[in-house]
Amino acid sequence: MVENRPFLKLLSHLVLILGVVIVAFPVYVAFIASTHKTTDFITGVMPVLPGSDFLATYKTVLFSGLAAAGAPPIGMMLGNSLIMALAISIGKIVISILSAYAIVYFRFPFRQLAFWIIFVTLMLPVEVRIVPTFKVVADLGMLNSYAGLSIPLIASATATFLFRQFFLTVPDELLEAARVDGAGPLKFFKDILLPLSRTNIAALFVILFIYGWNQYLWPLIVTTDSEHYTIVMGIKRMSDVTDAEPQWNLVMAVAILAMLPPVLVVIFMQRLFVKGLVETEK
Q: What is the phi/psi pair of residue 71, to 5°?
A: -105, 145
Collapse the DSSP code of 232 into the 3-class scheme (helix H, G, I; strand E, B; otherwise coil) and give the result. helix
Q: What span, in angstroms and rounded, lies between the C-alpha atoms of 154 and 212? A: 9
> What is the per-residue binding string for another protein in 221-250, x denoting contact by CB under 8 A?
x----------xx-xx--x-----x--x--
Q: How far is the CB of 243 from another protein (least distance, A)?
A: 15
Beta carbons within 8 Å of 133's beta carbon, 6+ residues apart: 126, 152
190 DSSP 8-state letter = I
Structure-derived torsion over alpha carbons of residues 52, 55, 59, 60, reported in degrees to the nearest 10: 0
266 binds another protein (CB under 8 A): yes
The distance of closest approach from Cβ of residue 44 to another protein in the complex, given in angstroms and rounded to an integer, is 7
**Nearest residue to 90 (alpha-carbon basis) of 202, 217, 216, 187:** 202
Minimum CB–partner distance for residue 257 and another protein (Å): 10
Three-state DSSP at 155 gives: coil
The answer to the question of residue 182 lying near another protein (CB under 8 A) is: no
Give the integer Cα–Cα distance in Å for 55 and 60: 9
Q: Which is nearer to another protein, 56 or 264 (CB)?
A: 264
Give the shortest CB-81-to-another protein separation in angstroms: 10
Considering only residues 202 through 221, tell me which ones interact with another protein, judged by CB under 8 A.
Answer: 210, 213-214, 216-217, 220-221
Q: Does 94 bind another protein (CB under 8 A)?
A: yes
Considering only residues 83, 86, 175, 192, which one is a binding residue for another protein as defined by CB under 8 A? Answer: 175
CA–CA separation, 253 and 235 (whole Å): 10
Q: How far from the centroid of its chain's Cα atoms is residue 178's Cα?
A: 37
Distance CA 84, CA 64 (A): 22
Footprint of another protein on 15-44 (CB under 8 A): 15-16, 19-20, 23-27, 29-30, 33, 41, 44
Among 130, 138, 194, 196, binds another protein (CB under 8 A): 130
Of residues 204, 181, 200, 8, the one with CA closest to residue 92: 204
Q: Which is nearer to another protein, 61 or 252 (CB)?
A: 252
The one-letter code for the residue type at 220 is L
Asked if 55 is part of the footprint of another protein (rule: CB under 8 A), the reply reads no
Total number of residues that touch another protein (CB under 8 A) = 107
Q: Counting contacts by CB under 8 A, is residue 127 touching another protein?
A: yes
Please identify which residue in 90, 105, 145, 226 interacts with another protein, judged by CB under 8 A. Answer: 105
Please tell me whether residue 199 binds another protein under the rule CB under 8 A.
no
Residue 109 Cβ vs another protein, minimum distance, rounded to whole Å? 10
Task: Work out whether 107 is an interface residue with another protein (CB under 8 A).
Answer: yes
Would you list the DSSP string of 56-72?
HHHHIIIII-BGGGTB-
| Binding region for another protein (CB under 8 A) out of 49-57, 66-74, 98-106, 192-200 | 98-106
Instruction: For residue 163, give the nearest of 105, 114, 216, 247 by alpha carbon.
Output: 105
